[in-house]
Copies of this chain bind each other. A is one copy, B any other.
Amino acid sequence: MKQVAIGIDIGGTNTVLGLVDQNGNVLAKDYFSTSEYNDITEYTNKLSGNINNLLERLYQTEVNLHIIGIGIGAPNANYYSGTIEHAPNLSFKGVIPFVSLLKEKFPYIQTITLTNDANATAIGEMMFGGAIDMRNFVMYTLGTGVGSGLVVNGNLVYGQDGFAGECGHTMLIPNGRLCGCGAKGHLEAYCSATGMKRTAFELLAQYNDTKSLLTGYSYNELTAKNICEAALKGDEIALEVFNSTGKWLGQALADTVHHFSPEAIFLFGGPMAAGNLLLRPTIESMEDHLLTVYKNKIKVLPSKLVSGDAAIVGASALVWKNQQNKTSSLSK
């Protein structure tokens, strides 16, 4: 019998879903626009329709299929209650009992579980990526925001309320840049992809470098990808964006190390396409900020999850991890 988990990643723009086997291979996948659906009932109808389509597709080649569960990554998702709560980037407002709604659609699937997208990525890294043998590590995701997932003693840290791991909102520079959450100076305002764009504009203003490749972009147009491409061509402003981002990120990583002393910190997301342009200054700055006892022993690594499938694989890993825990507690 072939065991399969369903992985779903709910983003503000798109929802991606896929069927994932126990080795983290995506057997079938699909996506649709999240933002087209303002009504949660219509959205769950669409989602369950697409899941059924995927399953039918796979049943055509695999008759003996066992669906072991559905894992969902979503912003402001609560693992304990199975709810999505006041997610600013989703059109569904208030507290959505998402797991319950999906259980109504799939009563025959025993495990349906939900967590935030960065936590799902962390579990994906532990099940299928670079953290397979690690029991203490941290995942930082650099995207529109900065997310994080923390693993201690082999288990994700959910905290007392299911909301642990919001390291993007730790203080980087008191009274600094306005963060999307309304506060000032948070890490996310500096080291997200959006933060990098803000840094580029700050540097253009500061140096008036009219030769920079970044001078041709409006604020709406400029992306972290443009900055990366310019940096790879040797553009000084773009290179300085990566240096500053790394300097700030390294400071934040050091604070996380001083809490947890993890074996490694993984970095995931678009800006990581720049490789050492971001990694090198991040590691240098982290080491500068570490107590002696931690120096030269914490690895900072790019995520090993394949970026296109990471969201699906991460979400599905919630289910695989759950099954692994069951098996290991049975064997005790």
Question: Which one of A59-67, A164-172, A300-308 is at the interface?
Answer: A164-172
Asked if A261 meets B86 with Cβ closer than 8 Å, knowing A173-B174, A291-B181, the reply is no
How many A residues touch B, CB cutoff 8 Å?
Answer: 45
Which residues on B sit within 8 Å (CB–CB) of A322? Answer: none
Q: Is A327 in the interface zone, CB < 8 Å from B?
A: no
Minimum distance in angstroms from A191 CB to a CB of chain B: 14
Within the assembled complex, what's the spacing in Å between the Cα atoms of A167 and B85? 30
Within the assembled complex, what's the spacing in Å between the Cα atoms of A181 and B291? 7
Q: Is A163 in the interface zone, CB < 8 Å from B?
A: yes
- A262 adjacent to B297 (CB under 8 Å): no
- A150 adjacent to B332 (CB under 8 Å): no
Q: Is A22 in the interface zone, CB < 8 Å from B?
A: no
Which residues on B sit within 8 Å (CB–CB) of A163? Answer: 261, 293-294
Which residues on B sit within 8 Å (CB–CB) of A90? Answer: none
- B157 adjacent to A260 (CB under 8 Å): yes
- A76 adjacent to B160 (CB under 8 Å): no
Q: Is A328 in the interface zone, CB < 8 Å from B?
A: no
Q: List 24 A-B contacts (CB under 8 A).
A: A76-B293, A135-B160, A136-B159, A150-B260, A157-B260, A159-B261, A159-B262, A160-B261, A160-B262, A161-B293, A162-B261, A164-B259, A164-B261, A166-B261, A166-B294, A167-B258, A169-B258, A170-B254, A171-B251, A171-B255, A173-B174, A174-B251, A259-B259, A259-B260
